[in-house]
Chain A
Amino acid sequence: MRKNIDLIIQYIKLNLQTELTYRSNLIFTFISAMTYVFVFVLSLKFVFNYVPQIGGYNYDQLYVILMLSQLWWYANVLVARKNFQYIAKAINNGTLDYHLLKPYSFRILTPFLKFDFRHLMPIIITVFLLFIKLDFSSIGILQWLGAILFFMNGVLVAYSITSIFTSFSFWVGRNNSIFDISLEMPDLVRIPIEFFPFIVKGFFIFFVPVIIMVNPTFQILYNNMDYILLAEALIISLVLFFISEFTWKYGLKNYTSAN
């Protein structure tokens, strides 16, 4: 355990050092990420100048769900997207060899292989933007813990799905498009569960589980829990995690280690 923690810290340090080598790249990623958030908040503000509510949600509530979805996206990029993009490429060109030959738990290190610091600052600012709209007096400690747990659960779901699709690279050689599909995810993740028509709700919970990414966290923060949804979120997350472990282990047997 101690060794894993040391290695994680070392990987984070090395990634930070790499990012600091290219200063302008660091700055421009930060600017583009923040521009996206501010433009979205402004457009939401403009819309609410003309309507008091959308589907029973007021400006503050939609603002919070928007910030949660942005946070989820940045966390997803930080721990899953960048790392699995790197792994998919490494499977294709055979550079995964050096990871497989090292006496460490590769799966534990996966979220930190390409820890992208450029998204750390937008995360901090988004947390700040989220907190200024939350009513702290009405959120108890258990709610905070629950909200954090279900937020991490949403990130784990994204992580597992990305891992499963990356494992397909062991068979098909290259599987980059999955990372483009995930670019469309935030548009659906930020939609409150009530906005989904009943007949597609099941599809977006069980097959493309965008509803369970941030909706449970939002419900806990506003003390408006749908316990069935929370249970579904935990079960789906666990099932996907085990499937991702299985596809990874099984995929490794098919690794061809390109020269």
Chain B
Amino acid sequence: MKKIISVKNLTKNFKVYHKKQGLIGSLSAFFKRKYETVKAVQKINFEMNKGEIVGFIGPNGAGKTTTLKMLSGLLHPDDGEVSVLGFIPFKRKKDFLSQISLVMGQKSQLWWDLPAIESFNLNRMVYNLSKEDYKTSLASLVEMLDAKDIIHRQVRKLSLGQRMKCELIASLIHNPKILFLDEPTIGLDVVIQKKLRKFIKEYNEKYNATIILTSHYIGDLEELCKRVVVINDGILGYDGDFGSLIKKYAKLKTIKLVFLKEVKKENLQKYGKIIDFEPLKASLEVNREKVGEVASGILNEFSVDDLNISEMPIEEVVRRIFENGNNE
């Protein structure tokens, strides 16, 4: 396997100023500021092979996006070494930039007042694509994302999901070898999330692109990543197989139930650990492998108005990993 990303002791600190609440706080900070150093990324090490999809997980402020930004060349590391495709990213060589792409769920590169197709065409020129290559690439992406009807619509009139499809097209029009995806499914409904995951998977298979993905949704990682890197407070806590991680730290799923008739707590206990109970509502923790069986049993035994199965929040998984002190 060809290694195309190599990170050694990568470190980044930010100096942020600390302000007390309210107007008095603002006035005093105007004259005298208290600065603190936030250790965003602390001496992390990892490598990636060509064609891999690796998920970066961690709570908000863990250092995932900062790592991605250092890998893509947006931020200068304070310490350590980073090599992507044989380049030092922050030197921002044109040969390097033309082989990567960064998609950020919360930022847009599209021209707001114009149809997305205009931004695609601009990127055609930015990446020096011939008209034929551009047409082929655009047609393929539009088909994969089912976006034919939206690319001629003004960007400001698109829904969040439609805009994200266009962001992906704009970012992938030049077939980058490395794709950095920073929370691409944030704020999207489950149907669009699913479509985007399918697209990312197809794109990876079709072009053998290397993809780094950050996400708060376990579903994204479950469907896309064999390998995950877990970061918290800038420290790398786990780098390995996603399946093993789930088996070890996210064994349980939560079933939330709303009943049509009152139920007795003792009748429910056999299905799992009750974490919340009212006669008409309950929440159970159930082993993820048995969740289907349990849900079916509950539906047969009780009059259920609503049933919702959810993953353990990613923050909880990360907390368990760091509590355990596991470093694989």
How many of chain B's residues have a CB under 8 angstroms from any CB in A? 32
Tell me the nearest residue of chain B to A95, going by C-beta: B107
User: When the two chains form their complex, are residues B126 and A102 in contact, meaning their CB atoms are under 8 A apart?
Assistant: yes
User: When the two chains form their complex, are residues A14 and B111 in contact, meaning their CB atoms are under 8 A apart?
Assistant: yes
Q: How many angstroms from the CA of A102 to the CA of B126 in the assembled complex?
A: 7
User: Which candidate, B41-49, B91-99, B133-141, B250-258, is the interface stretch facing chain A?
Assistant: B91-99
**Residues of A with C-beta under 8 A to B233:** none
Q: With A21-B113, A97-B102 as known contacts, state yes or no: A257 contacts B125, CB within 8 Å.
A: no
Q: With A14-B114, A18-B111 as known contacts, state yes or no: A255 contacts B106, CB within 8 Å.
A: no
Q: How many angstroms from the CA of A253 to the CA of B91 in the assembled complex?
A: 10
**Residues of A with C-beta under 8 A to B154:** 21
Tell me the nearest residue of chain B to A15, going by C-beta: B111
Does A3 interact with chain B (Cβ within 8 Å)? yes
Q: How many angstroms from the CA of A22 to the CA of B101 in the assembled complex?
A: 32
Q: How many angstroms from the CA of A103 to the CA of B154 in the assembled complex?
A: 26
Contact with B along A229-240 (1 / 0, CB 8 A): 000000000000
User: When the two chains form their complex, are residues B94 and A101 in contact, meaning their CB atoms are under 8 A apart?
Assistant: no
User: When the two chains form their complex, are residues A97 and B104 in contact, meaning their CB atoms are under 8 A apart?
Assistant: yes
Q: How many angstroms from the CA of A103 to the CA of B129 in the assembled complex?
A: 12
Q: How many angstroms from the CA of A98 to the CA of B113 in the assembled complex?
A: 17
**Residues of A with C-beta under 8 A to B106:** 259
Does B302 interact with chain A (Cβ within 8 Å)? no
Does A139 interact with chain B (Cβ within 8 Å)? no
**Residues of A with C-beta under 8 A to B75:** 255-257
**Residues of A with C-beta under 8 A to B98:** 103
**Residues of B with C-beta under 8 A to A7:** 122, 125-126
User: When the two chains form their complex, are residues A257 and B126 in contact, meaning their CB atoms are under 8 A apart?
Assistant: no
Q: How many angstroms from the CA of A233 to the CA of B301 in the assembled complex?
A: 89
For residue B122, give the distance in angstroms from its CB to the closest CB of chain A: 6
For residue A90, give the distance in angstroms from its CB to the closest CB of chain B: 10
**Residues of B with C-beta under 8 A to A21:** 113-114, 154
Tell which of A6, A103, A259 has the most Cβ of chain B within 10 Å: A103
Q: With A3-B125, A10-B125, A257-B75 as known contacts, state yes or no: A101 contacts B97, CB within 8 Å.
A: yes
How many of chain A's residues have a CB under 8 angstroms from any CB in B? 24
Does A100 interact with chain B (Cβ within 8 Å)? yes
Does A29 interact with chain B (Cβ within 8 Å)? no
Q: How many angstroms from the CA of A257 to the CA of B107 in the assembled complex?
A: 11
User: Which candidate, B66-74, B292-300, B320-328, is the interface stretch facing chain A?
Assistant: B66-74
Q: How many angstroms from the CA of A103 to the CA of B89 in the assembled complex?
A: 12
Among B74, B92, B95, B114, the residue within 8 A (CB) of A257 is: B74
Q: With A100-B92, A102-B97 as known contacts, state yes or no: A3 contacts B107, CB within 8 Å.
A: no
Q: With A103-B98, A103-B126, A257-B75 as known contacts, state yes or no: A18 contacts B107, CB within 8 Å.
A: no
Q: How many angstroms from the CA of A122 to the CA of B108 in the assembled complex?
A: 32
Tell which of A11, A94, A259 has the most Cβ of chain B within 10 Å: A259
Q: With A17-B114, A95-B107 as known contacts, state yes or no: A101 contacts B73, CB within 8 Å.
A: yes
Does A57 interact with chain B (Cβ within 8 Å)? no
Does B207 interact with chain A (Cβ within 8 Å)? no
Tell me the nearest residue of chain A to B112, going by C-beta: A18
Q: How many angstroms from the CA of A10 to the CA of B117 in the assembled complex?
A: 13
Does B235 interact with chain A (Cβ within 8 Å)? no
User: When the two chains form their complex, are residues B125 and A255 in contact, meaning their CB atoms are under 8 A apart?
Assistant: no
Q: How many angstroms from the CA of A94 to the CA of B122 in the assembled complex?
A: 21
Q: How many angstroms from the CA of A17 to the CA of B121 in the assembled complex?
A: 14
Tell me the nearest residue of chain B to A102, going by C-beta: B126
Among A6, A11, A98, A256, the residue within 8 A (CB) of B107 is: A98
Tell me the nearest residue of chain A to B180, going by C-beta: A101
**Residues of A with C-beta under 8 A to B72:** 101
Q: With A14-B122, A104-B126, A255-B75 as known contacts, state yes or no: A97 contacts B100, CB within 8 Å.
A: no
Q: With A3-B128, A7-B125, A103-B127 as known contacts, state yes or no: A97 contacts B111, CB within 8 Å.
A: no
Task: Point out residues on B near A: beta carbons under 8 Å.
Answer: 14, 65, 69, 72-76, 92, 94-95, 97-98, 100-102, 104, 106-109, 111, 113-114, 118, 121-122, 125-128, 154
The 7 closest A-B pairs by CB, nearest first: A103-B97, A98-B109, A103-B94, A103-B98, A18-B113, A257-B74, A21-B113
12 A/B residue pairs, CB under 8 Å, sorted by A = A3-B125, A6-B125, A7-B122, A7-B125, A14-B122, A18-B111, A18-B113, A21-B154, A95-B108, A97-B69, A103-B94, A104-B126
Task: Point out residues on A near B: beta carbons under 8 Å.
Answer: 3, 6-7, 10-11, 14, 17-18, 21-22, 94-95, 97-98, 100-104, 253, 255-257, 259
